[in-house]
Amino acid sequence: MTIRLYCFGESGNAYKAALALELSGLDWAPVHVDFFGGETRTAAYKRDVNAMGEVPVMVDGDYHLTQSGAIQDYIVDLTGKLTADTAEGRREVLRWVLWDNHKLSSPAGMCRFLMNFLPEAKRPAEVIAFTQARLHSAYGVLNAHLDARDWIVGDSVTMADLSCCGYLFYPEPFGFDRADWPNIDRWLGNITSLPGWKHPYDLMPGSPADRA
């Protein structure tokens, strides 16, 4: 049975789940959610898809699951792929997924939204500057960790990598320049070299060009 993923191309959190599904080799299909048209805020969406009013949402038969990290964990349980070989390694993967959700993806997603998807007159300059400072610190942590490492945990790609890269492939400006962070740049190159890797706008429906 084909797994369905409610998503849209601009969502870095949805990308984490979509990329995990794609690289795991599971049979899956995207279901486009019109976020910018207000779909996630409708009563029908909250009733039938996700009471939290968010993406991604994975549907596997009768099983519904939300939150990208939980979906990634489900994929690991289903396939045994994209994880570490030991209990200690699996906890290390979880540690980086939790760090990403709090320290990297959350401010990156907000900053990118404020800088690119709000009317220019409504973009809060002080909030953006504060968020970019937090991101600068997070990039430093990740860049230092990746010194002499190809992957965040162990010797192969895991969900830690697929979580932390979630927003870093997007072209819209939000204060991240790969050239400033050579270890992150090299690591992102490792990810793009994986068989089956796709850019978020190629993997999921929906992009800013559709609204131009």
Residue 30 pLDDT more than 90? yes
- Cβ burial of 173 (10 Å; 0-12, 13-18, 19+) is exposed
Structural domains of the chain, ranges and CATH numbers in brackets: 3-82+198-211 (3.40.30.10), 87-192 (1.20.1050.10)
Phi and psi torsions of 30, nearest 5°: -80, 145
Rounded to an integer, what distance in angstroms lies between the CA atom of residue 128 and that of residue 111? 6
Q: Which two tokens stand for residue 134?
A: 């937090």
For residue 177, give the amino acid letter: D
- Distance, in Å, from the CA atom of 32 to the CA atom of 206, rounded to the nearest integer, reads 7
Mean pLDDT over residues 186-196, rounded? 98
pLDDT tens per residue across span 119-177: 999 999 999 999 999 999 999 999 999 999 999 999 999 999 999 999 999 999 999 99
Output the pLDDT for position 212: 74
Percent of the chain topping pLDDT 70: 100
Residue 211 has a pLDDT of: 84
20 CB-contact burial (10 Å; exposed 0-12 / middle 13-18 / buried 19+): buried
Q: How far apart (Å, rounded) are the C-alpha atoms in residues 68 and 169?
A: 17
pTM of the model: 0.97
Rounded CA-CA distance 181/186 in Å is 9
- 210, pLDDT greater than 80: yes
pLDDT digits (tens, 9 = 90+) for 139-154: 999 999 999 999 999 9
